[in-house]
Each structure stands twice: as structure tokens, then as C-alpha cells.
Amino acid sequence: MPHQSKEAAPVTTRTPAKHYRLRAAVGILAVLALISLALEFGFDTPPLPTGILVTIQLAAVVVYVYSRVFTVATACNRLMALRSCWLDGVLLIGAAAFLIIELERPGTPVLKVSALYVGTIQVVILLRLIAAGIQLNLLLSQSRLHPTRVLAVTFISLILLGGLALSLPRATHEHVHDGADFSIPRHLLNCLFTATSATCVTGLVVYDTGGDFTLFGQVIILVLIQAGGLGIMIFGSALSLLVGKRMSLRHSLVLQDAISHRTLGQLRTMVVVIVVSTFAIEGLATVMMYPMWHGSMTPAMRLFHSVFHSVSAFCNAGFALQADSLIPYRRAWQVYGCVMPLIVLGGLGFPVLYDLWQSALARFRRHGSRRVGASLQPIFGPPHRLTLHTKLVVTTTVILIILPTPFFVAFETPPSAGESSSGGMALSDNTIADASIPGRFADSLFYAITCRTAGFNTVAMDTQSMSPPSHLLSGLLMFVGGSPASTAGGIKTVGLAVLILGVWSTLKGREKVEAFDRTIPDTTVRRAAVIVLVMMGLISAVTLAICFTEQVSLREAAFESASACGTVGLSTGLTPDLTLAGRTIIMAAMFAGRLGPLTVLIALAGGSVAGRYEYPSEQVGIG
């Protein structure tokens, strides 16, 4: 008799044909429920009567509850089936308890209870649809589809759904639809552009996030930023762990590549740490940002602004609810004490944060063991050694923050009296040059951090407000980007460090690339070179295409291309004026920049086959 795993028990029923028909009915009703929610909340006046839409939603919930009860009742192992359905039970019991509490309150209007009931049902539907989407993602990762295609399909699906949601009438203000140049195809493209920028955590916008989108649209953008920042694969693995499901080996390998972690046994802990730490950091930042906003805002608006910008900063998205980004809050302490650390933490990458957290815990335990006695050292464990990856990331990040800062200060020194600004020196307001010397250092420090990953700006970025050397240095920093497995793009800090170490080893006449008393494998050096070449080719191709489709200077086209390919989000003001062809090119650049180097790594790691032969060696001339 073949061996059956315990995981197969909950889905094995005594009436499989009826079970499959029921699942098909649940799927159809779930799609109809999603459409009904879009029609109800996406339009000021729903095209169908609200009663019909609510009936569809209630039918979807009733059929889903029946399907779960039927699955448990007909399962060969009911205990395992109940364990797999605990999340559904919590949702339904919580909804029922909420409604009972409202009904028990004296004097509660019947209409209010009905509205609460409908709202609760809608929340349950949304949560179940999210879970179903994540489950579909897990099925894709467990299939024979190449991991590269799994990531691409996942991001494309999220972008399309986000674009359709943003194109709903209620997502944008009326002045957007009443504009003289408004057309449905152009509006759809703009919404798709926004969804791509949010999902790829870039920050380039053609619509003003705070002025053109309603609160409904801003919430959609916020969800896309969070999902794109954490990564759909990490979200899927986290929820699958919560509902008690195991990750397949193939899914673990895909996730392992996505977060650049090489120990399969620690993936479960890693995923939990990623999700918990992300929400904890963003929650703390929300509290710190709350007092920063203008006093004219209501408490609810200030809270939403705090949540939106904390998520955008940690995910290195660069989206802001102000048309001029953070320029109005240029001297607020939260910009330097909250936004700037968020950008750095988000750009370090999850493996580095996890490694640093483990090191901090080990130091705390050692400190505690020294206090209570050296004999307890075995209980608290040995000291934690930082990995080579963490050391390279932290060292390179610190250098890339400190080194460019004085150069920006020097490049943006205001001209002396009587000197013209034809050489590109800034004379307008809201520039680095218009500040005092301490202010210029503060602005330059923030700019050195944000132009590598985030896309926020506290100073004007156009060609009249910033000098050509600063734009060139900005492009180089955007080319480098953040660190592997972070929310940033670019060739990554480790790629730059490995190439520099390779050059240094060549100059020193050493055969191997070494760092921190460790040898870096030759395959890693080759992959770093491939990523650099791919990114250079991508930026060059996008720059050439933008120069062809737009009437702009090479300086503006190159800056925009580097920002899109590096998923940074800074712009000289070119993005809103792009033609339809230009917007399509930038959309493709953002998508390729988000998946490009990562896709190359996964493709090289997952699809390579070691050769069983070797050709004779022959020298070639270089340089």
C-alpha cells in the first residue's frame, strides 16, 4: 500500500465529485462577489441595485461556509481538516460575535445592524479572496513553472488588478474625469502606470497621489506598495504558515532565492521575522510621524498620512501625499530621525536585518550571562558571527551614505554675487544651495540616502534647481541601488562591493576575491558582473528609447531611465509630461528593474546544468 502523507488527509473526501463541483461553485461566486464589491464601492452610483450586489455577496459567503462544513464532514481525517480551516472559523466566529454584541446594545437601530452585517460579510469576503489569491500563488510555486515565471506572473497579476481598481470612478476625483484631455484609454494607462510604480515600489507618478486620487484610491496604492515591498512570495509563505500548511521544497527554493537566504531550515523563522518586524517598524514610525503633519489636518487624516508615509518609506517606494513630496517638511526632525532610518532599514534587506537582530540577541544574552555568572554561558549560547553578506552590505551602505554627502554639498555651493547660473548652479528656492552650511549638509545627507533607493525629496530636482554634476552622481547612486532581498532596485550594494573587490584582487595579483578573511566564490563574481552588464544595457536601452519618443535632453532622459530601472522614483519633472509611448517604456523599465537582477540570479541558479567536459584553455588579450 502506498504511503499517504498527513497533509493529504484534509482534502481527501468520500464524495470527491461533489467536492470538486462545490469548489467550482465557490470559485465562481467568489469572482462574482469581487465584481459586486467593485461595482458597489468603485462607483458613486452603482450600475446595479445595491440589493442585488449584497445578495451575491451573501450567497458567496453562504456557499463558502457550506463548502467548508462539507469538507470537514466528508474528510477522512476530520481533526486535520478542522486544523486546516481554523482561520475560516476565527473569521466567521469573530463576525458573528461582533454582530451579537451590536444586537445586544439597547436602542440599536435595525438599519445600523443590517449595515454592520453587510459590512462584516464584505470584510470576510475580502479576506477570503486574499487568502484564495495567495493559495493560487502557492500552487503556482509548487508547479513545474520556472521560478522566474512565477515571480513575473505574480507581479503582473497584482499590477493588473491594481490598475483596474485604480481605474474605478471612485478612486479618482471628479476633476480628473472632467479634464479637457481626459480619455478612457489614457486614464486606464495612467492607472496602470500608477499600479506598476506602486507594486514595483518606484514612486514615479503621472497622477498626483494626494490631489488626484481619493482616499479609496490612496488605500489601493498603499496596499500595492506594501505587497510589492514585502513581495508576494513572502506574503504567501507567511499566511500558509499561519494556516498550518507546509511549504513544498520547490516553494522553499523559490522563496530562498527571493530573500537571498541559503538555509532552508530557517525559512519559516525568517518569514515570520520579516512580516512581524516590517509591521512593527512601520507601526513605530507611524507614531513618530503623527505630530509632523500640519495642524489643519483632522486626527484621522494625520493618522492616515503617518501610515501611508511610513509604509512608503520602509518599502522605499517614494510615494507621498503631497505634490512636492517632503519639501514642505524639509526641516522637520521626523524627516531625518524617522524617514531617513526607515529608508536605510528597508534598503538593507531582510537577511541583513535578521542577521543583525540575531547578533543583537546574542550580545544581550552574553551580557546577561556575565551578570549572573560565567557558568551559565552554555545556556545563553555562543556569540553570533555576522555573515559575510551582512558585513559587505553594512560596510558598502555606510560608505555610499557618507562619501557622496560632501560632494553634493560642493556641487550645490551657491554662486558668488554677480555670478550667473548658466553653469547649472541653483538659484531658486527649495534647493540645497539656498540653505546654510549645516542645512546643506543635512539636505545632502538625506539626498544621498533617498536617491539610491527611496525617491523622496526635500529639495527641487529639476535641471534649473540642481547642477549637472549632482544629477550625474545621483544617476550613479541610483544605478547601485539598495541591497539584495531589500525593497530597493539597482545592481545592489553587494554586487558593487564584489566587483570592486575583484578589481582590487586583480591589482594585487591574487587569484581569489577575498573580504573579511573569507573567499568569495568565482560564480558570485561572475553573477555580479552579469547583473551590472544587464543593468547597464537596460538603462542604455531605456534612455535611447526615451530620447527617441520624447523631446527632452539626454540629461533628463538618462536621469528618468536610471530612476525607473533602479526603482527609485526621483524625476526632474519629466514623468507627468511623457507621451503614451514614453509612459509605456517607463512602465516596462520599472517592471524590469524590479525583477531584472533578481530574475537573472534565479534563472542562473535554477536552470543551470553543470557541464561534464571542459575545452582546452587559450589566452586572449584584455586591455
Split at pLDDT 50, 70, 90, the class of 593 is confident
Q: Which three cell numbers stand for residue 119?
A: 459590512
- 8: pLDDT strictly greater than 60: no
Mean pLDDT score, 32-51: 78
Is pLDDT of 61 > 90? no
With contact defined as beta carbons under 8 Å apart, do 486 and 358 qualify?
A: no
Task: Please tell me the predicted confidence (pLDDT) of residue 446.
Answer: 93
- Cβ-count burial of 51 within 10 angstroms (0-12 exposed, 13-18 middle, 19+ buried)? exposed
The DSSP code for 487 is: S
| Owner of C-alpha cell 561572475 | 526
- Residue 370 pLDDT grade (very low, low, confident, very high; cuts 50, 70, 90): low
In this predicted structure, the answer to whether residue 375 has a pLDDT above a threshold of 90 is no
Report the amino acid identity of residue 167: S
Q: Rounded to the nearest 5°, which phi and psi values hold at 183? A: -150, 150
Q: What is the DSSP string of 218-271?
A: HHHHHHHHHHHHH-HHHHHHHHHHHTTPPPPHHHHHHHHHHTT---GGGHHHHH
| Average pLDDT value for the chain | 77
Distance between CA atoms of residues 141 and 251, nearest Å: 5
pLDDT tens column, 132-157 = 665 565 555 555 666 666 777 778 88
Residue 354 confidence (pLDDT): 80
Q: What is the pLDDT of residue 255?
A: 54
What residues does 513 pair with on adjacent strands? 520
* Distance separating the N- and C-terminal Cα atoms of the chain: 67
Can you name the residues that pair with 213 across neighbouring β-strands?
Answer: 172
pLDDT of amino acid 6: 41
Burial class (CB in 10 A: 0-12, 13-18, 19+), 596: buried
Query: In sequence order, which residues have a C-beta less than 8 Å from that of residue 621 and are 6 or more positions away?
Result: none
pLDDT digits 0-9 by tens, 215-269 = 989 999 998 998 888 775 565 454 444 444 555 555 555 555 555 555 445 556 6
pLDDT tens per residue, range 608-618: 555 677 788 77
Please give the Cα distance from 524 to 485 (Å, whole number).
Answer: 16
Pull the grid cell for residue 232. Answer: 508576494
Which position has the grid cell 469548489? 23
Give the model confidence (pLDDT) of 154-196 as tens digits.
Answer: 788 889 989 998 998 888 988 888 777 778 889 999 999 999 9
pLDDT digits (tens, 9 = 90+) for 476-524: 999 998 888 777 788 889 889 999 999 998 888 888 888 888 888 888 8
| 409-444 confidence digits (pLDDT tens) | 999 877 654 444 444 444 456 788 888 888 889 999
**Residue 3 reports pLDDT greater than 90:** no
Q: Which residues of 452-485 are buried (b: 16+ CB within 10 A; e: fewer)?
A: bbbbbbbbbbebebbbeebbebbbebbbbbbbbb
**DSSP string computed for 566-605:** TT----SS-GGG--HHHHHHHHHHHHHHHHHHHHHHHHHH
The secondary structure of 59-112 as a DSSP string is: HHHHHHHHHHHHHHHHBSSHHHHHHHTHHHHHHHHHHHHHHHHHHHSTT--HHH
**pLDDT recorded at residue 90:** 66
Q: Does the predicted model carry a pTM greater than 0.85?
A: no
Q: In the chain, what percentage of residues exceed pLDDT 70?
A: 70
CA distance 212 to 207: 6
Mean pLDDT of 537-548: 93
Cβ contact 92:65 at 8 Å: yes
CB 529 within 8 A of CB 501: no
State how far the Cα of 479 lies from the Cα of 452, in Å rounded to an integer: 8
Q: How large is the greatest C-alpha to C-alpha distance in the chain, in angstroms?
A: 93
* Span 270-286, average pLDDT: 83
pLDDT band at 18 (very low <50, low <70, confident <90, very high): low
Residue 74 amino acid letter: T
